């Protein structure tokens, strides 16, 4: 758990300890400053002082132990050299064009593959003609790793506004495509006692607004990966999940595609549903998504380095958090109240200024009704 966060876990413990300690100190000061009746009701002052004396050293000891564990874990990992990449081949899924990085252990995988991961007849790579040409011979004997990098967000928006084709499209690529590719290559990976790395998303663990379809597909992928990790451990195969932060890609910045999807959505919705939400509300969501994608990080090196680490580390982690802010995001989601984590996600992703049209009308009616009632009360008081 300590290694799972980009920001060291002991820093979180230190912050929590200071927060709790400060709160207890304020409670103690409050007890000492109020009258004896309230002190008796809250508890004896001596008892509070004893709790303060006992709890603060215990929290500091916990922070110290966590820090020592973190340092020990890092030093132990640093002493272990990476596994040799020579002679190992890695299959990486993605777009039809080569991926934006090339591993030294990728072998002949720089060749372009036209196999669609969503094609039920093309998933069994080892039995089709393309597979016999590219995956046959000596290359198959060198297969060491599988990186399921292919992923897609078909469209975004509230679950009620998302078309079923959006849900199915995300599931086909992000989940079923990954499952199909993994099952096809598992015999070779098991034989090599190699690695499987699945690229997921924090949206699969946390309820990002307007990403229900995408998040649901990544949630299914996360559970599949975790189950696979337990099942393949006896075979010597290590399975890891990589959770990247927001990065700028060609697809996310393709405004023509998102404009087309937005028009398709407006044409497909029922008039009643479009009237209740309002076209201006949906347009604002699209514009906010464009702004969010434009300000995303264009440097993909944190993800690339994490993939290499998951493939070649002698002791790969179950989960990797690639990019700034991911550790803090998961800390807030895991340890803060739901109201705080929910507000954090809303402010982080899409800062909506509009509410659905029906709610705006209802709010206006309630305001007018309140003013009307106030006027009636004033008239009654005058009488």
| 5, 12, 72, 214: the active-site residue | 214
* CA distance linking residue 201 with residue 378, whole number of Å: 57
Residue 20 has pLDDT above 70, yes or no: no
- Cβ burial of 104 (10 Å; 0-12, 13-18, 19+) is exposed
| Band (237; pLDDT cuts 50, 70, 90) | very high
pLDDT of residue 127: 43
The torsion angle over the Cα atoms of residues 340, 346, 351 and 357, rounded to 10 degrees, is: -110
Q: Does an H or E element contain 216, and which?
A: helix 212-232
Active site residue 214: yes
pLDDT of residue 122: 46
Of the candidate ranges 32-46, 170-184, 309-323, 359-373, the one whose mean pLDDT is the lowest: 32-46
Tell me the whole-structure pTM to 2 decimals: 0.72
Residue 98 has pLDDT above 50, yes or no: no
Residue 109 has pLDDT above 50, yes or no: no
Tell me which of 246 and 53 has the higher pLDDT.
246
Structure tokens at 81: 């050299």
* CA distance linking residue 204 with residue 335, whole number of Å: 18
In 276-334, the DSSP E strands lie at: 319-322
| Band (217; pLDDT cuts 50, 70, 90) | very high
Residue 312 has pLDDT above 80, yes or no: yes
Tell me which of 29 and 211 has the higher pLDDT.
211
| Band (192; pLDDT cuts 50, 70, 90) | very high
* CA distance linking residue 319 with residue 238, whole number of Å: 11
Mean pLDDT for 172-178 is 94
Mean pLDDT for 194-216 is 93
Domains of the chain: 89-97+110-360 (3.40.50.720)
């Amino acid at each position: 758990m300590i290694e799972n966060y980009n920001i060291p876990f002991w820093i979180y413990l230190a912050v929590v300890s200071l927060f709790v300690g400060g709160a207890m100190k304020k409670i103690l000061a409050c007890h000492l400053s109020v009258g004896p009746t309230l002190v008796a009701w809250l508890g004896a002052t001596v008892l509070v002082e004893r709790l303060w004396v006992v709890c603060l050293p215990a929290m500091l000891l916990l922070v110290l132990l966590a820090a020592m564990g973190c340092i020990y874990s890092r030093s132990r990992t640093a002493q272990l050299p990476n596994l040799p990449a020579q002679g190992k081949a890695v299959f990486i899924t993605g777009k039809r064009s080569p991926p934006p990085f090339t591993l030294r252990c990728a072998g002949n995988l720089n060749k372009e593959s036209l196999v669609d991961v969503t094609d039920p007849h093309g998933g069994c790579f080892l039995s089709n003609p393309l597979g016999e040409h590219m995956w046959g011979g000596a290359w198959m004997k060198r297969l060491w790793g599988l990186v399921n990098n292919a992923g897609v967000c078909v469209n975004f928006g509230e679950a009620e506004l998302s078309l079923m084709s959006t849900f199915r499209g995300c599931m086909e690529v992000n989940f079923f495509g990954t499952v199909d590719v993994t099952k096809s290559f598992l015999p070779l990976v098991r034989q090599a006692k190699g690695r499987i790395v699945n690229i997921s998303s924090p949206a699969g663990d946390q309820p990002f607004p307007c990403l229900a379809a995408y998040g649901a597909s990544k949630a299914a992928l996360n559970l599949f990966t975790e189950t696979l990790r337990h099942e393949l451990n006896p075979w010597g195969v290590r399975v890891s999940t990589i959770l990247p932060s927001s990065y700028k890609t060609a697809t996310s910045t393709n405004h023509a595609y998102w404009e087309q999807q937005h028009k398709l959505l407006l044409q497909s919705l029922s008039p009643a549903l479009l009237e209740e939400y309002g076209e201006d509300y949906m347009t604002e969501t699209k514009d906010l998504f464009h702004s969010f994608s434009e300000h995303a990080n264009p440097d993909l090196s944190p993800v690339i380095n994490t993939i290499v680490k998951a493939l070649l580390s002698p002791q790969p982690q179950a989960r990797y958090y690639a990019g700034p802010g991911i550790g803090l995001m998961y800390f807030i989601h895991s340890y803060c109240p739901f109201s705080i984590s929910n507000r954090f996600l809303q402010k982080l992703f899409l800062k909506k200024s509009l509410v659905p049209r029906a709610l705006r009308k209802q709010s206006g009616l309630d305001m007018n009704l309140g003013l009307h009632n106030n006027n009636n009360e004033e008239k009654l008081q005058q009488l």
